[in-house]
Structure 1
Amino acid sequence: MEGAGKAHPDCINASNPYHECVEYCFKRIAEAKSHADEGENEDSSKEPEERTVHPDCVNASNPYHECSEYCFKRISEAKDQIERNESDIQEDDITSSFNGANQNDSGDAHHVQNDPESGNPNLTEKQKKLFEMRLKMNEARKANQMAMVAEKKKMEAPSEARGISKQKWLEERKKKIGKLLDSNGLDMSKAYMLDTQEMAEAKYKKWEKDPSPYGWDVFNQKTLYNAHKKRVKNIECDMEAYNEAKEADPEFYREASSLQYGKATKIPEENIDRMVKELQDREAKRKSFSRRRKFHEEKDIDSINDRNEHFNKKIERAFGKYTLEIKNNLERGTALPD
């Protein structure tokens, strides 16, 4: 190509094969060389500028970086964090050195709390105070756990179910009879063969006994008559005195048309005393009669007498599940005022 050699090698368009340098190109090349020579002279005579860079800055290795206010703020925050970490490490060392004291009972903890210097005399005032606070926190935590366990046991008190002990006794007796039957080669339908003569007689006598009245039958005439016979069974009857009184009074059995009707006859004092004694014995027997009921010592006492206790049980059966939360709040003292 003919025009390839007409371009100056320092020209900015020397790579263009169709470019041909003119006077303007040579002038620009000369100016560029003169500027380059002046720049080298200035760089050699000029001293390097000083930069404000903190040695702890994360960009200290950058030669063009200059620390600003933000950099100094970050450096101070990092130093504070390092100091806090060191103090936490010291506290952990103190806690680990007294790890055995934290596992002691409340009495030992109280003793160490009163005299923390006896455990480690090298502690500072702040460390001693911190150690005492940790002991108090441990005691409070133990007390809270014990209170929670006690309240849970109180809430989960066994219900007053009837016949639990009797049912258990029957199950054990049934197992015992089953073992005896197996040893004798008998099945459960022939369990009566293990009964003795006395046991069989008592069982038959119990079967022959009339069942107790239930419901409205308690007040019918037959039941009342049987109760009367039971009461007069133990009263002695003097037939001679009865016949004498009958002969002495022609109207012993008075009718409604008799003029002596309603008139009280003379009754001996012995008969009156015997009647009073029978009434007193009946009252004493009625008071002594009571069904066996379970008594839980751990249960709260919320009654003033037996009658009030019975009434409270009825109320508890009807409304206990609705008032349980209110009762617990009142006992704990966490009830909110209206």
Structure 2
Amino acid sequence: MSEERAVHPDCRNASNPFHECSDYCFKVIAEAKTKMQLKEPEVMLASGDSKLDPPGDSYPGEDIDDEKPYLDEEQSDSEHENPAAENAKLSKRQKKWMELRNKMQEAKKRNQVEIAAERKRMEAPAESRGISKQKWLEERKKQIGKLLDANGLDMTKAYMLDTQEAAEEKYKKWEKDPAPFGWDVFNQKTLYNAYKKRTKNIEVDLEEYKKMKEADPEFYRDASSLQYGKVPKISQDKIDRMVQELKDREEKLNSFSRRRKFHEEKDIDSINDRNEHFNKKIERAFGKYTLEIKNNLERGTALPD
């Protein structure tokens, strides 16, 4: 069995299993108790203890009637209905405290109203007819800048915030073939794309197509067929549709044409518009090489003697 240790329960080293209290420990405990006794009146004053208050005063946190802390339900209801009678029972100190509390609550409400009004003034007013594209781009740029700053990135790394769907949409736009330029306008691929664009809105009747194919054994003829030049019977509505498509195409071509500016001071070296356009092409290609010959012909110095 372990021997009992001489340890005081109020000693600060009582939790140490190897400690034994000495005269020094008892001296420290006595000094601590003395300090606590001296501090007790100050603590009781700060907490509002009724034993230290003068007989005629009371603190706001106390009950109005210490002798009757609990009231009947009827009595409490009558006091709530008649606040004047309830205020009459309050002391001067309690009335002052009630006034201060009401003023604090009113000040809080006014502060909240002012905060809401200031916040509304600081925020941008909502536009009634939508937001302009420039303003939308500026706000989006600010939001992206805040996100980049939060992640420690700069504006050159903005693509790192894109989702997978947004990135795929961008790649689709980048992968589009550029518009044809120069002689590429007349190559086979461009002509085929133009053909697909023209035939995109044409309606195809598959049932009629199958009937025509079954009725004619040589619907798809080869070079050795004896029915060369034979025209299949086509309905009138399809012919009208083809004529309408040709008219629409001609109108579309005419809408793209524009009248070039005519210079009256310029020398006339063509017989019609087509010849003028051809001369411009020749001038672009060979004008710098034939300039001297043209000038000699105009001056007459190129003629033989």
The TM-score, its normalising length taken from structure 2, stands at: 0.32
Higher radius of gyration, 1 or 2: 1
The TM-score, its normalising length taken from structure 1, stands at: 0.30
More helix by share: 1
